[in-house]
Homo-oligomer: A and B are copies of this chain.
């Protein structure tokens, strides 16, 4: 997805303000398997996905638990770094060859203080992420694993083709074995 559309989908800006954001952005490619963010590190950039798919995961004991997927148009953000300038707890791995738009957090925050339209764009950005997070939280609390799996393939059918089931299982809050069972029961 092109950067103009990504920016405007969050909150439409005049081309003047949009250009101020775009001047801080560079396009950058990474191969499949690249680790974009490392846990326990303060990240200095956020990204938007032009092409590709990524996951964020953290460790629980020895095993990785995926808690976020991003695809074309989605932002990749270490919230602890972005909001509090603190170390994040997640790795982000690219699951396909990716083309990303990179924004330096420092430059963006400078724009927030200088340009009210961009400040409101940044406000809207967090508001939309908050809505996503809240919906995800409620799904996890209200729905069974089977319901969450059906909702996922309903909302994003091609994820099954693009992401391996072990990652999807941990995203759903269950083991891979349990997901396999659920898939067998649905048919």
Which residues from chain A sit less than 8 Å from chain B, CB to CB? 58, 60, 65, 67, 79-80, 82-84, 89, 112-113, 115-116, 119-120, 122-123, 126-131, 133-134, 136-138, 140-142, 170, 173
On whether the beta carbons of B133 and A134 are closer than 8 Å, the reply is yes
**Would you call the interface of chain A mostly helix, strand, loop, or mixed?**
helix
CA distance A140 to B134 in the complex (A): 12
For A127, what are the chain B residues with a Cβ–Cβ distance below 8 Å?
79, 82-83, 126
Chain B residue with Cβ nearest A114: B116
Q: Which of B123, B137, B141 contacts A112 (CB 8 A)?
A: B123
| 9 A-B residue pairings within 8 Å (CB atoms) | A65-B141, A67-B137, A79-B134, A116-B119, A129-B130, A130-B130, A130-B133, A133-B137, A141-B170
Q: How many copies does the complex hold?
A: 2
On whether the beta carbons of A131 and B173 are closer than 8 Å, the reply is no
On whether the beta carbons of A140 and B142 are closer than 8 Å, the reply is no
Interface centre among A65, A84, A116 (most CB of B within 10 A): A116
